[in-house]
Structure 1
């Protein structure tokens, strides 16, 4: 029976390597998105002298939005691989920061990035508000506020969990016999 249990546990642990397919796929999707970004950048540069200030800002916000989305994908790929699959081997100090992002921190960073992306999108909408109805503006604002509240709640939960882990660690450290 113990042999069966060990075999099942080995299969379950080995299944984490299936996540590599998702991370490699996200890397490929990021490469495709980089091509899309290059196209947006080219179109912006080709028309920059013809655009008014509002259109220039809208185009730049679109580029910033794309950079945030790309950063989010990289954050998920690297942190997900590091947390769920395997630690990265040292590459001469290039990746010293990798082990510092745990799952809770990753959720907060992802939520914060989504809020930033939503903020940029909402700013684009308000700069071009004549193209939207009041109802559309209201719902886009409500959706953005929902993202903000969600990010704040995730940050709060992460902080509470961090304090409870610290308290447990201190409790374990301080329960030893006094000399």
Structure 2
């Protein structure tokens, strides 16, 4: 028995005003591009501060105590982590919200570029912030051990802020894990 064939319906065309609104909304993502350019300037400023700190600390390398050398290293690590954080936000934010970065076949392209979604970006940001906070706390403890005068209130704030970052990171990771276990609607 032959059933009659039904021609597929053509999709209903949206009104022109709706199409233009959606096109305008879609193109408005480019308003974010200056933010990422601004972050590149912040990265350059961070580089300048890194070079200044390295020159200042390395100029008296011969007279440094082991504790001072560790503090110098922690300061430089702290600045490099902040730079990494900026790069993650610049690359991932631009690729997730503005446009794909076309690097051609560049072998130096970081492996995570183009694969970090908004959820992964949040976790990377929180992990970087926790690491930066931990280094600031470690530096304060080392300065305290060297006999520098650090108030209990200042130390308590550093510990409290670090704990807030750690707890926030754990909760964000837990929320992402729970979201991955639920059915997508």
* Structure 1 unaligned blocks of 5 or more: 170-179
| Aligned counterparts of 1:156 and 1:63: Cα–Cα separation in 2 | 31
For residues 68-115 of structure 1, the C-alpha deviation after alignment (integer angstroms, 9 at most, x for no partner) is: 000000000000011001112252144353121000010010000000
Cross-structure match for 1:157: 175
| Aligned counterparts of 2:157 and 2:43: Cα–Cα separation in 1 | 30
Runs of 4+ in structure 1 over 6 Å off: none
Cross-structure match for 1:133: 151
Answer with 29-38 or 91-100: which moved more: 91-100
Given the alignment, which residue of 114, 123, 138 partners 1:123? 138
Cross-structure match for 2:124: 109
| Aligned counterparts of 2:113 and 2:151: Cα–Cα separation in 1 | 45
| Aligned counterparts of 2:81 and 2:51: Cα–Cα separation in 1 | 15
Bigger helix fraction: 1
Q: CA deviation at 1:17?
A: 0.5
Instruction: Let me know the Cα RMSD of the aligned residues.
Output: 1.6
| Aligned counterparts of 2:131 and 2:149: Cα–Cα separation in 1 | 22
Cross-structure match for 2:28: 15
State the structure with more CA Rg.
2
Provide the aligned length of Structure 1 versus Structure 2. 167
* Structure 2 unaligned blocks of 5 or more: 1-13
